[in-house]
Amino acid sequence: MEKITRATYDEVMMPVYNPLPMVMQRGNGVYLYDTDGNEYLDLSAGIAVNCLGHNHPGIVKTISEQAATLMHVSNIFTNNKTLELALKLTKLTGFEKVFFVNSGTEANEAALKLARRYAYDVYGEQKDEIISFYHSFHGRTFFSVSVGGQDKYSHGFGPKPGAITHLPFNDIDTFSQEISEKTCAVILEPIQGEGGIIEVDPQFLAKVKELCEKYHALLIFDEVQTGMGRTGSLYAYQDLNIKPDILTTSKAIAGGIPCGAVLSTSEIAKHFSLGTHGSTFGGNAFACAVGCYVVDQLSKPEFLQHVKDAGAYLVKLLNELNDKYQIFTTIRGKGLLLGCVMNDKYKNMAGKLQACCGAHKLLVLTASANVLRLTPPLIISFEELDKAKVLFDKAFKDFVEHATQA
Ligand SMILES: *Cc1c(COP(=O)(O)O)cnc(C)c1O
């Protein structure tokens, strides 16, 4: 066989991504290794997915045992692991019903369909408007991407699904003017992830909740990125003290195995009646077994406390470096979901800074062109964060020396 290199990507892959130059081969804890044997400290965790790091022994054990026991039977039958995970999630959140899927996109697609069907059944077909917010991201199916607040992702694919309104995030006045009896659902991320690590304003959120109740619109929280301990509580809403009617979760739920879920009340869930929705793989025994293991780890109070402490420590380290290099205006976010906002001198150069970190063997993400995003494995230790600081120091030095040159 031909030697596999980054060039192979351009030969055989559809060009929707432009991955960094290395080709990854192996992982261990917070480290990744490429095909040339280079070691990288990973503060991206597969975009907030590998919450327990790479190749976690407990996950590996669960995977191999479940693979040797039962992987998939379809939803024509149920299985013990699906039901076990559903019980865990309902107990931990107080939601009553679960629908399992394989991704964040599918979770949001199902949540939006559920909200539309609920409004259709209870209030009639005129109640179909979905309100979402600019800079939000809800996935890539044509419905979920059209609901998302970034036009560039939904443009150019033909006629868009209708009755979707986009409003400015955290703008109480505009929201209060726009919501009406026609609104069937409002969807938001408690912290906009892809859009730039933008936290919801608690006052805005309280108003959204109040007006959703007034106009009988369902409130959907997309916790695909903020969920599963990422912000220091199992779900971000639990710390905001405002509970949505429908919650979507995915990314980290099975630590790297595709899995997702929609949670809601019995009252709403009954409108997903027999045959109204479905999935071949959703809720398969394999993914749910891993989900059970991961949820057990993430829901421990000491685990969540570690996320808060590690997050605070990482912010401190970044602020120390920023005092030295003056790259960011602010470092924002919660727990281990952090965004470093580029200052005017380096405006929209987050991608360049990301590449610079990569060259220094430190893996980070961006969130929009102007924000460097960090989503480390939640198990990252203080010592590993100290190592990250050493690599950041080198990368930031390199960046400020070369960034503004051609
Ligand atoms: C990643 C993400 C999605 C999409 O999830 P996929 O698993 O890529 O389909 C949706 N919403 C939010 C908030 C996300 O961060």
DSSP-assigned states of every residue in 52-66: T-BT-HHHHHHHHHH
Q: Which of 16, 44, 47, 105 to mutate to test the pocket of ligand 1 (most atoms within 8 A of CB)?
A: 105
User: Given the CA of residue 251, which atom of ligand 1 is nearest to it?
Assistant: 7
| Torsion angle in degrees (nearest 10) through CA of 98, 99, 102, 106 | -120
Q: What is the mean pLDDT of residues 26-39?
A: 98
Instruction: Say how many Å lie between the CA of residue 145 and the centre of ligand 1.
Output: 10
CA–CA dist 381, 315 (Å, integer): 14
Q: Is 52 left (phi over 0), alpha (psi -120 to 50) or beta?
A: alpha
Catalytic residues: 137, 222, 251
Q: Which of 133, 144, 194, 231 to mutate to test the pocket of ligand 1 (most atoms within 8 A of CB)?
A: 194
For residues 334 and 199, the answer to whether their CB atoms sit within 8 Å is: yes
Given a cut of 80, whether residue 164 has pLDDT beyond it is yes
177: number of Cβ within 10 Å: 10
Amino acid at 281: F
Instruction: Say how many Å lie between the CA of residue 153 and the centre of ligand 1.
Output: 13
Given a cut of 90, whether residue 403 has pLDDT beyond it is no
Q: What is the mean pLDDT of residues 144-166?
A: 97
> pLDDT for 303-348, tens place per residue?
999 999 999 999 999 999 999 999 999 999 999 999 999 999 999 9
Residue ranges lining ligand 1, Cβ < 6 Å: 103-105, 108, 137-139, 189, 193-194, 222, 224-225, 250-251
Instruction: Say how many Å lie between the CA of residue 385 and the centre of ligand 1.
Output: 26
Q: What is the mean pLDDT of residues 193-198?
A: 98
User: Given the CA of residue 189, which atom of ligand 1 is nearest to it?
Assistant: 13
Beta strand residue intervals within 241-396, DSSP E:
246-249, 260-264, 328-334, 337-342, 362-363, 365-366, 371-374
Given a cut of 80, whether residue 1 has pLDDT beyond it is no
Q: Which of 17, 224, 281 to mutate to test the pocket of ligand 1 (most atoms within 8 A of CB)?
A: 224
User: Given the CA of residue 260, which atom of ligand 1 is nearest to it?
Assistant: 7
For residues 266 and 253, the answer to whether their CB atoms sit within 8 Å is: no
- For residue 404, what pLDDT band results from cuts at 50, 70 and 90? confident
Q: What is the mean pLDDT of residues 291-297?
A: 98
For residues 356 and 400, the answer to whether their CB atoms sit within 8 Å is: no
User: Given the CA of residue 103, which atom of ligand 1 is nearest to it?
Assistant: 7
> What are the phi and psi torsion angles at 339 (to 5°)?
-130, 130
Given a cut of 80, whether residue 110 has pLDDT beyond it is yes
Q: Which of 136, 251, 257, 279 to mutate to test the pocket of ligand 1 (most atoms within 8 A of CB)?
A: 251
User: Given the CA of residue 222, which atom of ligand 1 is nearest to it?
Assistant: 13
What percent of the chain shows pLDDT beyond 90? 98
Instruction: Say how many Å lie between the CA of residue 255 and the centre of ligand 1.
Output: 15
Instruction: Say how many Å lie between the CA of residue 249 and the centre of ligand 1.
Output: 9
- Confidence (pLDDT) at 11: 96
- Mean of the per-residue pLDDT values for the chain? 97
Give, using CA atoms, the residue closest to atom 5 of ligand 1. Answer: 104
Give, using CA atoms, the residue closest to atom 6 of ligand 1. Answer: 104
Instruction: Say how many Å lie between the CA of residue 250 and the centre of ligand 1.
Output: 7
Given a cut of 90, whether residue 280 has pLDDT beyond it is yes
CA–CA dist 396, 360 (Å, integer): 10
Q: What is the mean pLDDT of residues 237-265?
A: 98
Instruction: Say how many Å lie between the CA of residue 36 and the centre of ligand 1.
Output: 31
Q: How many CA atoms lie within 13 A of 257 on its CB side?
A: 26
Q: What is the mean pLDDT of residues 155-178?
A: 98
Given a cut of 70, whether residue 406 has pLDDT beyond it is no
Instruction: Say how many Å lie between the CA of residue 253 and the centre of ligand 1.
Output: 12
> pLDDT for 208-233, tens place per residue?
999 999 999 999 999 999 999 999 99
